[in-house]
Amino acid sequence: MDPMLLQPRIHFVRSDAPQAVAAYEGLVARFGQTMLHDADVIVALGGDGLMLEVLQASRRDPRPVYGMHRGTVGFLMNDYIEDGLMERLMAAEAAVINPLKMTVECDDGEVRQAHAINEVSLLRERHQAAKIRILIDGKERMSELVCDGVMVATPAGSTAYNYSAHGPILPIGAEILALTPISAFRPRRWRGALLPRHARVTLECLDPERRPVSATADNVEVRGALKVHVELDPSISHTLLFDPGHGLEERLIREQFA
């Protein structure tokens, strides 16, 4: 936060979880609710799902977002403590992240785009495994990956779906992306790759009629994907606020020793 702001104007948002609703009502009653266009900071009450929704909705909004955990998963959130909120906002550490841009060429001839904070993933739509060709910056790196799916994850998202699929945890300042297979069948022992952050990844469905795949950017799904291009979008920056000593970098390191 700007040290010149002695009393930041807050716009509160919440999920529909009962504990988030109760927290929202209590905080608005105590601190008031500023209209979004007049606010200095957004305080999100919920879990990581809400945080992703807020960041998606504020793609071109420079306001920082401070999350408080009132949901299920809260990796991107701070602890919920009502007292001292103004002081916490003033002392908060900022983490600036860029989202992934997903461009999908679909079987209906349409081209659809979406952004992802955590990951872009391809998943099989039917019982048969998907067959996917992988190109990096236009150069073929794998002619055929037989799998349940594959994903490209950011450092901020590396502890989410990527980690569950046995992908690496990436430090928040790392200039790399994780390319991680999901239940790879052939090559059976392939564990993925680390790519420079400027890489453009192309994932091509090789048998779309018999083995269709869907493409998902966080919570935005596109079905009938033929070819998916994934790259960081440096034109968009999101600022997340964390309590001192509990920022993204510390959380990512701590997660590796859990």
- How far is residue 80's CA from residue 117's CA, in Å, rounded to a whole number? 23
pLDDT in tens, 35-57: 999 999 999 999 999 999 999 88
Per-residue pLDDT averaged across 169-186, rounded?
92
Question: Which amino acids are annotated as binding site, given as ranges?
Answer: 48-49, 118-119, 148, 156, 159-164
| Annotated binding-site residue numbers for NAD(+) | 48-49, 118-119, 148, 156, 159-164
CA dihedral 21, 25, 31, 36 (to 10 degrees): 60
Same domain, 84 and 203: no
- Place 4 in a pLDDT band, splitting at 50, 70 and 90: very low
Which of 16, 40, 48, 79 is an active site residue? Answer: 48
What is the model's pLDDT at position 6? 66
Domain of 205? 100-232
Report how many domains make up the chain. 2
Give catalytic status of residue 48 as yes or no: yes
Residues 220 and 141 in one domain: yes
| pLDDT, average across residues 147-154 | 97
Is the residue at 2 inside a domain? no
